[in-house]
Structure 1
């Protein structure tokens, strides 16, 4: 793959370990075992990496609406980043266990906060270790800094925006969930089964091949319905794997996609919103 503004290879990370201008964020997490990520970090992480937890740091507490992983209070996230030694002077690379949705959520949030120089480690920690990378248990002692918050509200939409966009031929909705959840055949987590009417299914894991992102050309073909649309909105179950789909769209050359942060867990929490089942594409 050609050099990417959104992805870092494990080989580049290995070359740059110890670079004072680089900050590394460990975003490992497991939905079925929320304590796993922090424990995995303590057991061994990339040298210099700091840890951000999906539930504690990259989300706020859920309510009746807004989804299972509402966006965090961004001023609190900015303060936490600064305390961990992450500032505007740094390039940031984020990793999780396999280069998928947890690192993409952190990547998206840093961009939403106004920090453009952030990339995801392609292939995650598994690829880093396969390339010869070693782990350490020592927590870094980066000097604290200030992380200025420059929010980009154009990157995110809410339930009202999505409802008003239904039926608009210039707006494309992409659902990042597994096909069987999109079709409404199963729903293990949320109130209703199905998808937002008119949405097409593009499972986020289909953007990967052998654990790494597909080429720009492959992604562009798979995400071709985004071409020429005035607005592309990605969503998933709770705004986590949807961020991975936004990343795939960026890699495909379809920049500017928005994230419906509340996603299906928000949409399905409203009794009056329409639900579609079956395959729309």
Structure 2
């Protein structure tokens, strides 16, 4: 299954019994807006998953601004959404890309390979004059059996080992915009700068008006990175790094991990250096 699917494919398969559509609409500026957007209109058959309430856990001293939720509770929500090992899951947001990619990564982390992101999101869907609804579907619960994929996850200790290793076997990618990467401006986190040794590949450069750029363009974006090397992507809180993770996968990179806590977790440890 392709990691990115187009709206034409989804339209043709919209009413397939084995497809579950997940609306990941969210706004970092207004935590209630995502659900409001869903209630206003959404793709037929879609259920809503909220970044703060469903895709993140409670904040603590460490773990970053969007830590993993309790996995057992998240699995229960997947089961309530009718998602099991045979379900093909399509995630979308309003077209920003990051929130749907976060959900896609989380299912990938749980070992569910049948998951894709809708290219262009809901804005692209609406632009095609495709059907929308306000109806919330009633779905039969099922059983989801996780198979945790540790190969896509990195924690602070993993990243610290990379920073202390001068052999450069692993590439750290900072997915934030350049001014935050350079430490020239920081509007969200308590400290400015980057994890030492990280290179900058802004996540937004992988998309154009909500649509992912073609695989050949993604390969060009990352051409300075050998596909043989391990890659760890991060951002501020593990959300906008997810589109870079997805773009790398679309470009054919196999060894990619997401530092879920990202910079907000890194700076929560006073001993960690900042460049």
Return the TM-score normalized by structure 1: 0.94
Give the counterpart of 1:104 among 101, 104, 114. Answer: 101
Instruction: Report what 2:216 is aligned to.
Output: 217
Instruction: Report what 2:207 is aligned to.
Output: 208
Give the counterpart of 2:50 among 49, 53, 57. Answer: 53
Give the counterpart of 1:32 among 13, 22, 29. Answer: 29
Matches within 5 A, 1:5-16: 5-16=2-13
Is there any run of 5+ residues in structure 2 with no aligned partner, and where? Answer: none
CA distance in 2, matches of 1:225, 1:268: 27
CA distance in 1, matches of 2:6, 2:86: 21
* Superposition misfits of 4+ residues, deviation over 2 angstroms: none
Instruction: Report what 1:172 is aligned to.
Output: 171
CA distance in 1, matches of 2:35, 2:167: 43
1:251–1:215 CA distance, 2 compared to 1 (3 A): same
Matches within 5 A, 1:1-281: 5-166=2-163, 167-276=166-275
CA distance in 1, matches of 2:227, 2:48: 38
Contact 2:227 2:254 in 1 (8 A): no
CA distance in 2, matches of 1:245, 1:62: 24
CA distance in 1, matches of 2:228, 2:174: 16
Superposed displacement of residue 229, structure 1: 4.1
Is there any run of 5+ residues in structure 1 with no aligned partner, and where? Answer: 277-281
Cα root mean square deviation, aligned:
1.1
Return the TM-score normalized by structure 2: 0.96
